[in-house]
Amino acid sequence: MIFKSLHEKLLRKKINKSLIELSKQHRVKSTPIKSLGCIIDPSFPVSVDLFIDLAHSIGLKEKDLKVITFQENKNAFNVFSSMNITPDCISFYGNLTGKDSLEFISNDYDLLINFFKSNSLLTLLSSKSNAKFRVGFESVRPELNDLIFSNNIKKFKNFKNELIKYLKLIK
């Protein structure tokens, strides 16, 4: 019990430090978008095909898209994505250690979609990712995203339409 609370405190400290570093960066949407990263909590009712379709809608090929999903249990089979982050991918001190998470943050993204609500592991992963422009929901820390959508968006189609609309408006 003591170790778990200490681990959570160290993780929060690592997230706060990472968000401070992130806030010092000058982030601007690149035009055109050439790479897309998606961090997804599979508790949302979405499939990877929807993100592939979104990538195509903004002029990307499937090879330009990287998707990583949260998985509570590392032994469970995840049909959503080939890249996963589990609680075991975070060291006691709050460092990313999982192969997939390290591969994900080693890439540079023109656009990063944080498709999750409040989740400390995914927040840490996102804050460590190299992205020029970030999109997410209002339920996560506001420092994490440049464009923030309401949690009231229930359908992916609405999210996609709004995202494309705002990406066209932002130069």
pTM: 0.89
Write out the chain's pLDDT in tens, 171 residues: 677 788 888 888 888 888 888 887 777 777 789 999 999 988 888 888 899 999 999 999 999 999 999 887 766 655 566 788 889 898 988 899 999 999 999 999 999 999 998 889 999 999 999 999 999 999 898 899 999 998 888 789 999 999 999 999 886
Q: Where are the domains of the chain?
A: 2-169
CATH architecture of 2-169: 3-Layer(aba) Sandwich (3.40)
- Give a three-class secondary structure readout of the chain: CHHHHHHHHHHHHHHHHHHHHHHCCCCCCCCCCCCEEEEECCCCCCCHHHHHHHHHHCCCCHHHEEEEEECCCCCCCCCCCCEEECHHHECCCCCECCHHHHHHHHCEECEEEEECCCCHHHHHHHHHCEECCEEEECCCCHHHCCEEECCCCCCHHHHHHHHHHHHHHCC
